[in-house]
Each structure stands twice: as structure tokens, then as C-alpha cells.
Amino acid sequence: MTRPFTRPALVCNSQSGSHDPAILSAIEDICRAQGAPLIATFMLPDDSLPSAAELRRRDIDLLIVWTGDGTINAAAQGAEGWAGTVLPLPGGTLNLLSKALHGDRPVPDILTDALAGKGHRRPIPIIRAPDGTAFVTIVAGPATEWAEIRETMRQDGLIEAGRAAPDALEAMLNAPGVRVAGQDKTWPAIVLTPTEAGLRADGIWAEGAADMLRHGLAWLNGDFRDGPSEEIARGETIILESDAPIRLDYDGELAETPSPARFAIGMSAVDFMATVDQI
């Protein structure tokens, strides 16, 4: 249990494909019913994400972030130095952080529990990387091209995504893979996950057409971690190498970094609200 929140604010995105006015109304209604009406709503893309200084100035104690993992990442980093709590709600494509903190539950159930004090607040393990921070996972390697196809499918439909799929298959087969420093085997992708015990690295393997198809379906249907893989390393620091610049997917946001690249375990600078004990 945690003390009830009284001055929440909301971050959401009116241009998101997952934005639903009915859910927005439900969030507002639940906050009022719990005696904690929204102090402010930061509606992207017209509004900016709130800074720590603004959150302090408005005496906000709970930042409800109803967006995708990438925006939750940016909102949490922007709030560093603020003493309140971030509550991620499922409002994107994968919703990996929300699922880790709350299970696969609908927005009204999560919010009602959080405002009623049915949960706990604490920092969570994160990944510190050369060019950013991940709160859920980093996928490294040429197979991250599937993330672009997933976005194409979301925005333009299955036909356009199908036209791009051969490039992802080609990358998995022939582009330079990634490896953990000190190991010989290369992989089309390595998934880094922050845990309480440190970083875990899983190698995504694709030894034939069936494996590649399973990976493609896993990425397009939601969670790339559902594809065939095996654990290959654990530690507080993991260094990845490749014979080419390393493509990265930080919580759903794509980037690229030179090889070698060092990744380290860390803890978030802000507290998160969890309503189940999964992370």
C-alpha cells in the first residue's frame, strides 16, 4: 500500500493510433471519483512533456502517462529531480512497461487501484546506453528492421508492411550481426533486459525460414521476445560488438551507435507506481 495521491496530472497523445476519447473520459471520471481530479492534462503533440520544475511548481504528486513506451521513457527522463511518482498506463503498441508494472489489465482497473493506494512506488531497473536510457528493453542488431515494418503496418496497413518484409528478412540473413564482447557467435539481434540482479542478454537466433517467420510474427504481433532465443550473458555491464554500426531499438524508439557499445544496469531517477509485483 502507498499513500493516496491527491494532485495527479495526465500525459497523453491525441494523434496516437491508440488514443480513445472514451478512455480519456474514463480517466478523468475515475480521478474525480477518487477525490483526486486532474490538475493538468498535457496533450501531445500540441503540448510539451512537463519538466520536473513544472511538476514541482504545480505541486503534482502523480504523473499519469497514457502513451506508448517511448513517450513514457521521455516523460520519466524529463521528470528527473521531481519527488512524485510516474504511473504508466497502456496507450501504445506494445505497452511493455505497463504490463511489467500492472500486468495485462485495462486502464480503468490500473488507475482505480493506483489512486486507492493499492500498490507501491519505487525506482525500477533501467539500461544506461551510449546514446540514451531504456526503461524496458534494448534490442540491438539488424533484426530491429522489423520494428520499422511494425510501424509501417500500424500506419499504412498490412500491404505496405508486406512490401517491406523482404528487407527485414535480408537483414536477418546477411547483415553483420552482433555479439557479446569475448564471445565468438554473432546474432541477428541481442535483447538486453534490466532486472534487479543486473542486465540479461538473450540472443535471437534464426537458423532457417521457419525461425525467421516466427520472429517476424512475434515482432508484428506485439512482443519480439516471443521469438526463438536463448540467454547468452548476464552482468552489471555488457559490451556488444559488430562489424558495422549497431542498430538499436530503445523502448520502441530506433537509433544507431558505433561498435563497440557499452550497456550498464542502473536505477530510474524517478519512482514508478506498480500495482503487481512483476518487475
Is there a domain that residue 277 lies in? Answer: no
pLDDT exceeding 90 applies to what percent of the chain?
63
Strand partners, 192: 138, 201
Last residue of a domain, one of 61, 89, 122: 122
What is the Cα 168 distance to its own chain's centre? 22
CB proximity list for 65: less than 8 A, separation 6 or greater: 10, 11, 71, 72, 75, 76, 86, 87, 88, 89, 91
Please tell me whether residues 141 and 21 are part of one structural domain. no
Alpha carbon distance 278, 97 (integer Å): 10
Same domain, 155 and 256: yes
Tens of pLDDT along 98-121? Answer: 999 999 999 999 999 999 989 899
On whether residue 193 sits in a domain, the answer given is yes
pLDDT digits (tens, 9 = 90+) for 47-91: 999 999 999 999 999 999 999 898 999 999 999 999 999 999 999
Helix/strand number for the chain, H first, E second: 8, 17
For residue 79, being part of any structural domain is answered with yes
Q: Residue 129: inside a domain, yes or no?
A: no
What range does the domain containing 78 cover?
8-122
Write out the H or E segment, with its range, that includes residue 252: none
Cell of 158: 498490412
C-alpha cell at 34: 477518487
My answer on whether 30 and 110 are in the same domain is yes
* Shared-domain flag, residues 97 and 139: no
Q: What is the DSSP string of 187-229?
A: BSEEEEEEETTEEEEEEE---SHHHHHHHHHHHHHS-GGGSSE
Q: Please tell me whether residues 85 and 180 are part of one structural domain.
A: no
Q: Which of 87, 102, 122 is the last residue of a domain?
A: 122
Can the peptide bond before residue 260 be classed as cis, meaning omega within 30 degrees of 0? yes
Looking at 122, 143, 165, which one is the last position of a domain?
Answer: 122
Same domain, residue pair 195 and 256? yes
Task: State the number of CA atoms in the 13 A half-sphere of 147 facing the CB.
Answer: 21
pLDDT at position 43 is: 97
Residue 279 belongs to some domain of the structure: no
Whether the pLDDT of residue 161 is over 50: the answer is no
Over residues 177-235, the pLDDT tens digits come to 999 999 999 998 899 999 999 999 999 876 655 555 565 566 555 555 556 788 999 99
Count structural domains, the chain: 2
1 assigned to some structural domain = no
Same domain as 215, residue 112: no
Whether the per-residue pLDDT at 133 is higher than 70: the answer is yes
